[in-house]
Amino acid sequence: MKKLQFFYIVTALALSMFSEICYATVYEFQNDGNVVVFEAYDYLSKAHMPKTSSSTFDPIQKKAYDRIIESASQKYKLDKNLIHAVICVESSYQPNALSPKGAQGLMQLMPHTAKKYGVTDAFDPDQNISGGTRYLRDLLDRYEGNRTLALAAYNAGEDAVNKYGGVPPYEETINYIKKVETILKNL
């Protein structure tokens, strides 16, 4: 598939509580209208942190999905700010986001997860947020309200959390949890 363009967004936040890395989110726009989102890390840098700056919280993008998120939050009894934080980290509110691993839409549902939760079009914001919120609710229930384990499972999969008896020792997963928690503190 021919790529139309690339652009990189690099943001930094100096928080002493996190290990220091350089982090970039790369958006790749494709001819079919999909946006592939992936992360690039420079672990040699000592001056940069995961993306958590105010540019992540674009109020226009956030507001565009408030109604859907509020509805899913009430239906599945889940904090709407947690849903917002997951969407910020997963797709930066890009409904056509497609990861290199095949995760789709705002909450980056894998096809088998989408199917499990009745999502027939993972790029439809209503379906994606409903399915992703229900999945996150199920993970919180499974891990008895432990948000850290639920987020680890959302990112790395339940099998990985079970295999390691907790958060898997994957840098991606550890950074994912930190990013979601940092965003939650700022909402």
Which residues belong to the active site?
90
Cβ distance 142 to 129 under 8 Å?
A: no
Rounded to an integer, what is the distance from CA 114 to the centroid of its chain? Answer: 15
Rounded to an integer, what is the distance from CA 162 to the centroid of its chain? Answer: 21
Dist CA 171 CA 169 (whole Å): 6
Dist CA 81 CA 66 (whole Å): 10
Concatenate the DSSP letters of all residues of 117-179 into one string: TT-S-TTSHHHHHHHHHHHHHHHHHHTTT-HHHHHHHHHH-HHHHHHHTSS-S-HHHHHHHHH
> Tokens at residue 103, please?
């995760």
**Angle of helix 125-142 versus helix 147-156 axis, rounded to 10:** 130
